[in-house]
Amino acid sequence: KANMSNQRVPIEPQRVDAPLTQSATFLVVTATKKPDSINTIRSTLAGLDSLAKNVSIRDLSAQFACTVGIGSDIWDDLTSLPRPAELHSFREVKGEKHIAVSTPGDLLFHIRSERRDICFEFERQLMNQLGDAVSVVDETVGFRYFDVRDLLGFVDGTANPVGPSVPASVLVAGEDTSAEGGSYIVVQKYTHDLPGWGHLSTEQQEKIIGRTKIDNVELDDAESGQRSHKTLNTIEDENGEEHDILRDNMPFGSPGSAEFGTYFIGYTRRLWVIEKMLERMFVGDPPGLHDRILDFSKPLTGTTFFAPSASFLANLDSE
């Protein structure tokens, strides 16, 4: 017992490793200028775990999970704690033809469940607590499309890390002790030109993605010239080590208004890895040869967050 005080308090991450579900809500908000806004947000985030319990108990098989990400602009006011080393606002990436736009957002709530009603109910209770402390920038409801396909028709999420490589690629560790157990998040809301995409042959589409459409089998990397989406998003550091990210993309849309989209969400231990992916997609490798997926996909948003550990969140209110 005597040396208990020397032991480190265990750091519990948020549920960043929760599985892909049938339904997900992506809620991005900014803080309003009301005098109490920051306090209200702080106490809501500190109580997020009990808010989650209110709904998750109502169907334990529904795999409820909510992770919250905090944006760079609000970090200091909200936490008064050291900034995660890499945290900054989303930096626009300008290619010759396509631009990854940067859009505002102080908080991201990534809400997941097998049941749409559970996502809905959690968001309802959350918004009740936040009240006029926030204004909504974007709310996107994603759904499972057949065997985890995006609306371009391809299986999406295959190359994600599994098992012990999830925390290794997603959670900050000893390299930044005050951010330990946390994860950087980048989101982009894309809409697709589905008629244009439909004019391509299946073979052309497969070359763009880098996998076959029906069987989801990986194609070889191009030796030169135009690279596939898969190849452009394979990132190695200077030592030749490959760095994965965790993607929980969801389709969204409304055929009645001809809206067809993919909500991209990437979790990473190293923000630079996702930034490098965006540069390779939008500027191209070599520059000029951008990711052809972008000729049929346009990002409407682009925002970066940091999802601190659950322990960090729970202690937010304790000063």
User: Of 126 and 281, which has the nearer Cβ to ligand HEM?
Assistant: 281
* Minimum CB–partner distance for residue 167 and ligand HEM (Å): 17
Which position among 209, 250, 307, 313 is part of the footprint of ligand HEM (CB under 6 A)?
A: 209
User: Of 48 and 245, which has the nearer Cβ to ligand HEM?
Assistant: 245
User: Of 140 and 297, which has the nearer Cβ to ligand HEM?
Assistant: 297
Task: Determine the longest span between alpha carbons in the chain, in angstroms.
Answer: 71
Residue ranges in 127-156 that form contacts with ligand HEM under rule CB under 6 A: 150, 152, 154-156
Does position 29 bind ligand HEM by CB under 6 A?
no
User: Of 28 and 41, which has the nearer Cβ to ligand HEM?
Assistant: 28
CA distances from 124 to 39, 137, 139, 151, 310 (A): 20, 16, 12, 28, 21
Shortest Cβ contact with ligand HEM: which residue? 159
- Name residues whose C-beta falls within 8 Å of residue 155's C-beta, 6 or more positions apart in sequence: 147, 148, 149, 211, 216
Does position 245 bind ligand HEM by CB under 6 A?
yes
Distance separating alpha carbons of residues 293 and 281, to the nearest angstrom? 9
Does position 183 bind ligand HEM by CB under 6 A?
no
User: Of 118 and 246, which has the nearer Cβ to ligand HEM?
Assistant: 246
Backbone angles phi, psi at 201, to 5 degrees: -75, 160
Does position 190 bind ligand HEM by CB under 6 A?
yes
DSSP 115: -
List 17, 150, 156, 244, catalytic entry: 156
Residue ranges in 248-307 that form contacts with ligand HEM under rule CB under 6 A: 262, 264, 266, 274, 277-278, 293, 297
* Minimum CB–partner distance for residue 179 and ligand HEM (Å): 21
Closest CA to 134 of 110, 104, 109, 107: 107
Backbone angles phi, psi at 24, to 5 degrees: -150, 145
Whether omega for the bond prior to residue 161 falls within 30 degrees of 0, making it cis, is: no
- Name residues whose C-beta falls within 8 Å of residue 29's C-beta, 6 or more positions apart in sequence: 105, 106, 107, 109, 130, 134, 135, 136, 137
Range 5-27 burial, b when 16+ CB lie within 10 A, else e: eeeeeebebbbbbbebbbbbbbb
Distance separating alpha carbons of residues 111 and 26, to the nearest angstrom? 6
* Minimum CB–partner distance for residue 291 and ligand HEM (Å): 8
Does position 15 bind ligand HEM by CB under 6 A?
no
User: Of 96 and 132, which has the nearer Cβ to ligand HEM?
Assistant: 96
Does position 246 bind ligand HEM by CB under 6 A?
no
* Minimum CB–partner distance for residue 244 and ligand HEM (Å): 7
Distance separating alpha carbons of residues 134 and 170, to the nearest angstrom? 28
Closest CA to 134 of 105, 177, 92: 105
156 flagged as catalytic: yes
Binding residues vs ligand HEM (CB under 6 A): 150, 152, 154-159, 188, 190, 209, 211, 229-230, 233-234, 245, 247, 262, 264, 266, 274, 277-278, 293, 297
Q: Which residues are catalytic?
A: 156
